[in-house]
Structure 1
């Protein structure tokens, strides 16, 4: 299991910080994992699954 930080999540998804946290608040994006203190990260596989779901729902 690999954790990725906000900067990499933004790069991989193409979303900005505000969009990521808004989607999380709406339950539409994977939640963070606390690394201690104020540091958080996401589980890389959960982000990849979220992206795959988005691609599978697109209309061709």
Structure 2
């Protein structure tokens, strides 16, 4: 026996939006890529402890909380942070 569906009280859409088409505010922009702590540690020669020290001191991009025990960083912010310090990070080369 088919299930009877009830109508929803919503205005009908006839193909035209009142103020033009709705747009995604990020349309035309590159999507923001997130990198994990593990990926971050592969890119920069700092320990996790040192990264947290720098975050707390305002000297490193703040992470985005993805869950109770998971964070990520905006790749563009990390890349900008690295490019502001050419040759100043110990260990790995910042070139390229």
TM-score range, shorter chain: 0.7 to 0.9
Q: Which residue of 2 aligns with 1:10?
A: 41
5+ residue gaps, structure 2:
1-31, 89-96
5+ residue gaps, structure 1:
none
Q: 4+ residue stretches of structure 1 with deviation over 2 A? A: none
Please report the TM-score for the alignment, with normalisation by the length of structure 2: 0.55
For 1:5 and 1:26, locate their aligned partners in 2 and report how far apart those are by CA, in whole Å: 20
Structure in which a larger fraction of residues adopt strand: 1
Please report the TM-score for the alignment, with normalisation by the length of structure 1: 0.85
Q: Secondary structure of the equivalent of 1:49?
A: helix
Q: What aligned pairs does 1:1-60 form with structure 2 within 5 A after superposition?
A: 1-55=32-86
Bigger RCO (CA 8 Å, 6+ sep): 1
Task: Say if 1:16 and 1:56 are closer, same or farther in 2 by CA, change over 3 A.
Answer: closer
Superposition RMSD on alpha carbons, in Å? 1.5
For 2:54 and 2:69, locate their aligned partners in 1 and report how far apart those are by CA, in whole Å: 20
Higher gyration radius (CA): 2
Task: Kindly tell me the number of residue pairs found equivalent between the two proteins.
Answer: 57
Deviations 1:20-46 (A, max 9, x none): 000001100000001122211000110
